[in-house]
Amino acid sequence: MTTPEYEQLMALVRGRRSVRQFLDKPVDGDLIGCLIEAASWAPSASNRQDWWFSVVECPELKAAMARAVCSRWQAITEAHRQLGTIDEVRSYSASFGDFAAAPVVIAVSAAKVNAIQQELLGSAGPATVGSFASAAMAAQNLMLAAHALGLATCCMTGALAAREELGELLALGRGRELVCLIALGYAADEPPAPARKAPPRITRLHR
């Protein structure tokens, strides 16, 4: 038995789309503030709330970020020319700088594990500390809030191949690392809903 609140939530969840084509229309700063507030209400590990949102509207900075991403992927594909699938990778990665065409790009970052956490936990550090997972949950809140306000988003991680270069351009500092880029604006079109795997296909019960 569901509730009206659940049905309202699912209508929002099902209605959200990943949009890559945006109108040439600015996004009001008050609306962006609403999105950041929604993001800030996400759960976070130990309630540290150690996420950060870099809101990029500057065309020159967006272009520089896209150049860094394209340059990095060009270097990756050149270094692996011998792979049989490299042409497919090259074609797929060509869109990873498309975020620059969005009116706004929100770069979501999280605190890196510190030296003590790294010493204690080794490679399990990021997953155990939970900063990246927390920032990802905040990003989902932000995108759902955007949809509720009539805005469109696309969460992008392909650009993170140039994570270091992007971090320098965004002046994140050495203690933060990018989790995703969110392209934001008003949708130029509405893509159809992609097929979803049925819950039984993605669930295993342990009783």
Asked if pLDDT for residue 144 goes beyond 90, the answer is yes
Asked whether residue 125 is assigned to any structural domain, the reply reads yes
- In this predicted structure, what is the pLDDT of residue 67? 97
Asked whether residue 10 is assigned to any structural domain, the reply reads no
Asked whether residue 102 is assigned to any structural domain, the reply reads yes
Residue 163: give its domain's CATH number: 3.40.109.10
Asked if pLDDT for residue 125 goes beyond 90, the answer is no
Asked whether residue 81 is assigned to any structural domain, the reply reads yes
- In this predicted structure, what is the pLDDT of residue 11? 96
Asked whether residue 61 is assigned to any structural domain, the reply reads yes
E strands along the chain, which residues? 51-56, 104-111, 152-156, 176-185
Number of structural domains found in the chain: 1
CB 130 within 8 A of CB 45: yes
Asked whether residue 195 is assigned to any structural domain, the reply reads no
What is the arithmetic mean of pLDDT over 168-181? 96
Residue-level length of the chain: 207
pLDDT-based confidence at 85, cuts 50/70/90? confident
**Residue 147 belongs to domain spanning:** 18-189
Asked whether residue 149 is assigned to any structural domain, the reply reads yes
Asked whether residue 194 is assigned to any structural domain, the reply reads no
